[in-house]
Amino acid sequence: MKLSNKSKVLEQEEMTFAERIYLPAIVGGMATTLKHFFSKKVTIRYPEQKRYLGPVFRGHHILKRDEEGAERCTACGLCAVACPAEAISMVAEERKKGEENLYREEKYASVYEINMLRCIFCGLCEEACPKQAIYLQHDKMVPVFEDRSEVIFGKDKLVEKMDNRYLREGWK
Amino acid sequence: MNFWYFLTALTLLSASMVILSKNPIHSVLYLVFTFFCISGHYVLLNAQFLMAVNIVVYAGAIMVLFLFVIMMMDLSKNSPDSKSTLTKLAGAILGGTLLVILIAASRKVDLKDVKPIDAQTGMVEGLGQILYRDYVLPFELVSILFFVAMVGAVMLGKREAGERNF
Amino acid sequence: MEITSTLFTAKAIYVGIIFAITLGVAAYSTYFERIIAAFMQDRVGPDRAGPFGILQPLADAVKMFMKEDFIPANSNKWLFIAGPCLSMLTALMTSAVVPFGDQLDLGDGIILDLQGIDVNIGILWVFGIVSLGVYGVLIGGWASNNKYSLIGAIRAASQNISYELAMGLSIIAILMLSGSLSTKSIVETQQNGHWNILYQPLGFVIFLVCAFAECNRTPFDLPECETELIGGYHTEYSSMKLGFYLFSEYINMFISGAVMATLYFGGYDYLFNDYVAQISWLGEYAYNVSALLGLVVLIVKALIFVFIFMWVRWTLPRFRYDQLMGLGWTGLIPLAMFNVVLTGASMLFTVNDGGSNWMTVGASWAGVIIMLVVTFAYSEMKYKKKKLATA
């Protein structure tokens, strides 16, 4: 039964003599592969040579600090809710007196963990964050794990370092 | 000469293993080994061509087909007691008769008639000369026999119209 | 006695060298197979083990040895071990009769033939050993006690037997030209550029195709096709036993390259070999230098064939089994027979006319071209008729 008239009936013609003795086709094929033998190789030798990642690449997560160096995160948990892979978990704590220069808001995350085996780098946490605290860096990839104990990234790996601040084009 | 004794002992041993071993595959492999020993005898007789042909035709082609058939049929289910007394008796009589004929024939051999071996004995050229000059008729008859056998095999293998196509 | 023992030592050294070259070439074939495959697919291939990855075969060997050497519980243990050993043995034995070079003059009247054994049945020896190569596959496949192994083994064996016939027939034409079974004299009749490829274009194509089939290389690698037989006859093999099977394939490739060079491309013959043998400043060594150069030339010719084997492998898909059998029995065998008749006719033609070798060349090429044209015309005629009938 024909649903539409778009389908084409394939008519297989009988092979001609040149096709039946295979050899011309084989020689043609071998010419093609020989051409590729001498062509430029497309391989990027990864650790030595890196591909350009682009300005919208979603890489290693970072917990931003504000201009004074206080952590922006307020442990609202919206990123954990937004995360489709349930990779994010956190423990919230109240800011004590004298910690104003460390944490911007009155409540902060004392533990903030991302399981990098679960994370799919979708960037929904970045979009969910009301405080512009979490970003996925466009120029840095998550390093290769060598041990199972290394896959959960805590605050020590996530919080922005003051001497190496993360900037995106168009932020200023 | 010592090598000859060694080779002969090996030949007899492997030949008897052909009939003594329970597993038909082992039998075939011993038979292949026997052919090798016989090829060794050909080399000792300076008949290199016969040696090569023996290996190519018997060890290389015919025994492979034997192996094929035996592997495909799975003969391990056929226990030895499936052979009836009549079969055993017939086999014994046939083998005995062959032995008697061989002994009788070897008794009649006169070693004085044998030509001395020179460098050309057993070479391809000499064999060709004898085959195509002195024994042309038997040779051609044998080839016709082979041809008939081949036609027969083709006839048997041919699929007839209406036969089940599996 | 003195001369005999020196000659024996020299021969032993020569055999050792050829053995080492064969194994070395086979080991590096695995590396170059991957490099060539990569290059033809616009990749770079293995380049991590050592500079340009040249230590890759070593790494592969270490890996192979470290793997668990597994023998299936219900397999026939001794035959299971014998299978890969037989494959390796037969692969290595073939090179005994290939003349890798002319003679070396070692002084004191000692002449060393650069050939394992110069028997007057040389090419039959190659045949005998090649036909025994089937046993390694067949025994290994059967002893695995696995139906896929058995099917693979039987397919391999029937493929090898089928293509041996056409191979033998294509060689008969060579034997008619050279008048001898000895590989040495086959090479000697081709000296000074009278290579058999000029006289036997059709025979060479047939032999080449059969060599592909005998080595189980693509497009005839059905015995080991993974998609249909999960690996074929070596499904149950692991560790170095599997390595032996794969290694023997590479050895076979190199040796069949050497045999093809011997039969069709003048063996150790190269242009200017007479000239090299008479260079004055080399003095008495000139002849030896020429012979050693011949050895190198033969190995280079064999390596070119190895490259062609790999080139074809990474270009063509494999045949279907019925296509394979059809090509062997209904394509190559009649062609080889035609080639024998053609060779006989062209030889007769030249002998009666007292013509030169080049007339034989002309006659054989003319025969092939006439055959092609006639078949082409016939097939076109049939094709047009059929088209008219359907229209």
> Does A11 appear as a known binding residue?
no
**Average pLDDT in the A96-117 region?**
90
**Average pLDDT in the C52-65 region?**
88
Q: What percent of chain C has pLDDT over 90?
A: 10
Inform me whether the C-beta atom of residue C381 falls under 8 Å from chain A C-beta atoms: no
Binding-face residues of C in 190-209 toward A, CB within 8 A: 205
Q: Tokens 């060579």 appear where?
A: C174
Q: Do residues A46 and A130 make contact, with C-beta atoms less than 8 angstroms apart? A: no
Contact C315 A43 (CB under 8 A): no
Q: Give the model confidence (pLDDT) of C153-208 as tens digits.
A: 888 888 888 898 899 899 898 888 888 888 888 888 888 777 888 888 888 989 99
> Does A39 appear as a known binding residue?
no
Q: Which residues of chain C are at the B interface, by a Cβ-Cβ cutoff of 8 Å?
A: 76, 79, 119-121, 124-125, 127-128, 130-132, 134-135, 138-139, 142, 150, 153-154, 157-158, 161, 164, 181
Q: Which residues of chain A are at the C interface, by a Cβ-Cβ cutoff of 8 Å?
A: 14, 16-18, 20, 23, 26, 29-30, 32-34, 36-37, 39-43, 45
Instruction: Tell me how far apart the alpha carbons of residues B68 and B29 are, in angstroms, rounded to a whole number.
Output: 12
Cβ-based contacts of B70 with chain C (< 8 Å): none
Q: Which residues of B89-116 are buried (b: 16+ CB within 10 A; e: fewer)?
A: eeeeeeeeeeeeeeeeeeeeeeeeeeee
Cβ-based contacts of A26 with chain C (< 8 Å): 312, 315-316
Contact C181 B124 (CB under 8 A): yes
Instruction: Tell me how far apart the alpha carbons of residues C301 and C207 are, in angstroms, rounded to a whole number.
Output: 16
Cα B85 to chain center, whole Å?
Answer: 27
Which residues neighbour B134 within 8 Å (Cβ) at sequence distance 6 or greater? none
| A30 vs C41, C312, C383: nearest CB | C312
pLDDT digit string (tens) for chain B, length 166 residues? 688 899 999 999 999 999 888 888 888 889 999 999 999 998 888 888 888 888 888 888 888 888 888 887 766 555 555 667 888 899 899 999 999 999 998 888 877 767 776 766 667 778 888 888 889 999 999 999 999 999 998 888 877 776 665 5
The conformation of residue B139, written as its DSSP 8-state character, comes to H
Contact A41 C39 (CB under 8 A): yes
Please tell me the CATH code under which domain A61-158 is placed: 3.30.70.3270
Inform me whether the C-beta atom of residue C358 falls under 8 Å from chain A C-beta atoms: no
Binding-face residues of C in 47-66 toward A, CB within 8 A: 47
Query: B26 to chain C: nearest residue by CA?
Result: C79
> Does A129 appear as a known binding residue?
yes
The full set of domain ranges for chain A reads 61-158
Cβ-based contacts of C131 with chain B (< 8 Å): 55-56, 59-61, 64
Q: Do residues A59 and A137 make contact, with C-beta atoms less than 8 angstroms apart? A: yes
The count of C-alpha atoms lying within 13 angstroms of the C-alpha of B79, restricted to the half-sphere facing its C-beta, is 2
Q: Taking the alpha carbons of C366, C372, C376, C377 in that order, is the dihedral positive or negative?
A: positive
Which residues neighbour C15 within 8 Å (Cβ) at sequence distance 6 or greater? C116
| Chain A partners (3+ C-beta pairs within 8 A) | C
| C121 vs B29, B52, B61: nearest CB | B52
Contact B67 C131 (CB under 8 A): no
**Average pLDDT in the A90-105 region?**
90
| Chain B partners (3+ C-beta pairs within 8 A) | C
pLDDT attached to residue C114: 80
CA distance B68 to chain C (A): 7
Cβ-based contacts of C150 with chain B (< 8 Å): 71
- pLDDT-derived band at A128 (thresholds 50, 70, 90) equals very high
Most confident of A15-19, C103-107, C166-170: C166-170
CA distance B126 to chain C (A): 13
Contact C124 B56 (CB under 8 A): yes
- Cross-strand bridge partners of residue A93: A108
